[in-house]
Structure 1
Amino acid sequence: MDSITQMALGATLQGALLGRWQGRKALLYGALLGTLPDLDVLIDYRDAVDWMTHHRGFSHSLLFLSGLAALLTWLVRRRYPHAGYSTQRLLLTLWLVLVTHPLLDCFTSYGTQFFWPLNSPPVAWSTVFIIDPLYTLPLLAAIAIGLLQGLRGRASVWPLTALGLSCLYLAFTVAGKVMAEARVEPLLAQQGIRLQALFSAPTPFNSLLWRVVVIDGNDYHEALVSWFDEQPPRLERIPRGTALAAPLTDSPQWQRLRWFTGDVLRYDRLGAALVVTDLRLGMTGYHPFRFVMAEWRGGGWQLAPVVNRWPSERGDLAQLRLLWTRIWDERQTVPLAQWARELEQR
């Protein structure tokens, strides 16, 4: 999730558990601690694939953060041996503030290596867009009330209330994902689609309209599904360009990208560049993670010595308005195939 949300979650948690002793300072301490796992962005990796696939790595793992919570508890106890709260309460607070950061990230589509150093695939439940105001607003409201009224006495109920509302919202997003996939799966056999992989995620800034991607060999199919739809979804077939992947067989960066993304990838030749696109992130036709994996030189493809990101564009307000209309009106046409074809031109 975005940094504001992670800071808000950390502040609310620490305010709820230690606010009666630390007062308003608990909000500051929790906000700083809640964003600590994302400091791995400061590490200089050798190329774009390494950066993407190592972000949310060791610094987001249950093992690492549990050890860090224990170390911080020991340091705080040495500095403040007579604080009114118990060591157990302090350890629980610091552990929750740290560990809920990657747990919340697991609800997004990116991929969080929660069980590092095990070589298990990254966790990506993909039920929440990277920025979702409905999740964040209750937390910000509780922080505002805490800053105005303090966190002692009856005011301490607000952080707990905000955390409860945010958890209920996460449960609603899980239900949305189940709903969207359940609406699409019966169509696969009807249309003769061979399911290789299925990915679903909410469209930008909401959890009412869902994007479902079905990988089917050399093609992929996309559909939009809203909570308010009455008719079956319409799947649009889009070429995936898998024939272009042949020159990448010996690329360790390509293999790592396939592992990280679950192979939900697309391939395009753009001029002299072979560009591999992560279809999970962003929105149809507007994907932020695109990589130049090979270059056409001397009549053949040569693996790029250093993999760089291909410049990407963002969707405009007109497209967001179109998606917003589609939430409520299933008759609204959204040109998914056209948006996807535009990747061949930019």
Structure 2
Amino acid sequence: MDSITQAALGASLAGAVAGKTLGRSALLIGAALGTLPDLDVVIDYGTAVANFTQHRGFSHSLFILFPLSFVIAYALHRWRPILSYRRWLGVSALILLTHPLLDAFTTYGTQLFWPFGPPVAITSIFIIDPLYSLPLLAGILIFLFRGPHTRSVTVGLALSTLYLGWSLAAQQIISDRVEPALAKEGLQDAPRMVQPMPFNTILWRVTVMGEERRVEIVTGFLDGDGPITLESFPRHPELAEAAAALEEGRRLQWFTDGFLSYQRTNGKLAATDIRLGIPGAHPFTFILAEDNGEGFTAQPSSRLDRPAVAGELLGVLWSRMTGSAEVLCLASLSLPPPGEGCS
């Protein structure tokens, strides 16, 4: 999740566990601990793909954070012995461990079990979702203005947790909804990813990886009874094969579970993580190799600038989310005329 939400989660947990003893300072300590795992962003691993795939790595590993919580609890107890070591340990462990667990619900991928196994990405909540964050922030504000009001942060935590549970239920409902349409296309067994569109859990995006094409579906809970619209994108398997021959190409495939698209860009091989953002506005595209005329030659990866997002995109998403528009064409990020599909 975004840094503000992680800080709010940490502050809320600290306030709930130790707010009556520490007062408002519990919020500051909790926010700092909630931000700690994300400080790995300052590390330069040498290439764009390395930086991308090693973020949320060791600093988000349960195998690292759990023992680290004992060390931090010891330091905090020496600094503020007003709280017992056991309670400091509870504060530290809760905050450090819930940070990566919350991140795992997003689409980016979190290496919970680093250095073992692939990243975990449940993909049930967008990286910024006001309905998750606002209850936490409201509880914190009440705590700040009314003193050590632990009930407010506890209620905020409960509401946010319930919303997270709703995101899982909504994800399953959407997955079941698109099943008949995918079966009709012979894609019922193809790898798929079901995730919410930005900032909400009402409108969802389903990405399905066929052998020769990728299918995208946008559907939501406020849709009418109209048919589900499938939009196809080419996969370029020959470029995927070329990327698989490259070390950084294989690293990207591992990190994204294969949800990538490939392009030739000015004589270079580019790979885009299609999980993040939306088509036409994917933020992570990497140059992996250069075409020397006889094939692709690997080069240290670099990242292309993220595409500009049109100012009217939020209006388009709102129209589609509320059901006032029946179809959203992802290739053009536009709403076709009523009764028409995507070209």
Q: TM-score band (shorter)?
A: over 0.9
Name the residue aligned to 1:172.
166
1:179 positional shift: 1.4
1:331 positional shift: 4.4
1:69 and 2:64 correspond: no
Q: Distance in 1 between matches of 2:219 and 2:323?
A: 11
* Contact 1:214/1:220 (8 A) holds in 2: yes
Name the residue aligned to 2:341.
none
Paired amino acid for 1:325:
S
Q: Distance in 1 between matches of 2:270 and 2:169?
A: 34
* Contact 1:292/1:304 (8 A) holds in 2: no
* Contact 2:229/2:327 (8 A) holds in 1: no
Paired amino acid for 1:101:
H
Q: 2:179 aligns with which of 175, 185, 197?
A: 185
Q: 1:144 aligns with which of 129, 141, 144?
A: 141
1:330 positional shift: 6.2
- Across the two proteins, how many residue pairs are aligned to each other? 333
* Contact 1:294/1:301 (8 A) holds in 2: no
Paired amino acid for 2:109:
G
Q: 2:94 aligns with which of 96, 111, 126?
A: 96
Q: Distance in 2 between matches of 1:42 and 1:79?
A: 27
Q: Distance in 2 between matches of 1:289 and 1:80?
A: 43
Name the residue aligned to 1:41.
41
Q: Distance in 2 between matches of 1:166 and 1:175?
A: 14
Q: Distance in 2 between matches of 1:263 and 1:249?
A: 10
RMSD (Å) for aligned C-alpha atoms = 1.6
Q: Distance in 2 between matches of 1:76 and 1:179?
A: 45
1:282-336: per-residue Cα shift (whole Å, max 9, x none)?
0122111111111122x13333321001222143231221121111226433122
1:138-179: per-residue Cα shift (whole Å, max 9, x none)?
11111111111111xxx2200000000000110111112111
Name the residue aligned to 1:121.
118
1:294 and 2:292 correspond: no
Show structure 2 runs of 5+ residues with no match.
Answer: 335-343
Q: Distance in 2 between matches of 1:79 and 1:320?
A: 47
1:1-346 to structure 2, matched below 5 A, reads 1-81=1-81, 83=82, 85-118=83-116, 120-151=117-148, 155-193=149-187, 195-229=189-223, 230-297=225-292, 299-329=293-323, 331-339=325-333
Paired amino acid for 2:221:
W
More displaced stretch, 12-21 vs 267-276: 267-276
TM normalised by structure 2 equals 0.93
1:194 positional shift: 6.1
* Contact 1:195/1:215 (8 A) holds in 2: no
Q: Distance in 2 between matches of 1:11 and 1:249?
A: 43
* Contact 2:12/2:153 (8 A) holds in 1: yes
* Contact 1:183/1:233 (8 A) holds in 2: no
* Contact 1:121/1:260 (8 A) holds in 2: yes
TM normalised by structure 1 equals 0.92
Return closer, same or farther for 1:194/1:171 CA change in 2, 3 Å cut-off. Answer: closer
Return closer, same or farther for 1:301/1:338 CA change in 2, 3 Å cut-off. Answer: farther
Name the residue aligned to 2:339.
none
Counterpart of 1:130 in 2: which secondary structure? coil
Counterpart of 2:290 in 1: which secondary structure? strand
Moved over 4 A (4+): none
Q: Distance in 2 between matches of 1:259 and 1:185?
A: 26
Q: Distance in 2 between matches of 1:48 and 1:234?
A: 35
Paired amino acid for 1:63:
F
* Contact 1:195/1:214 (8 A) holds in 2: no
Counterpart of 2:219 in 1: which secondary structure? strand
Q: Distance in 1 between matches of 2:93 and 2:188?
A: 44
* Contact 2:49/2:286 (8 A) holds in 1: yes
1:66-90: per-residue Cα shift (whole Å, max 9, x none)?
1111111122233344x2x433222
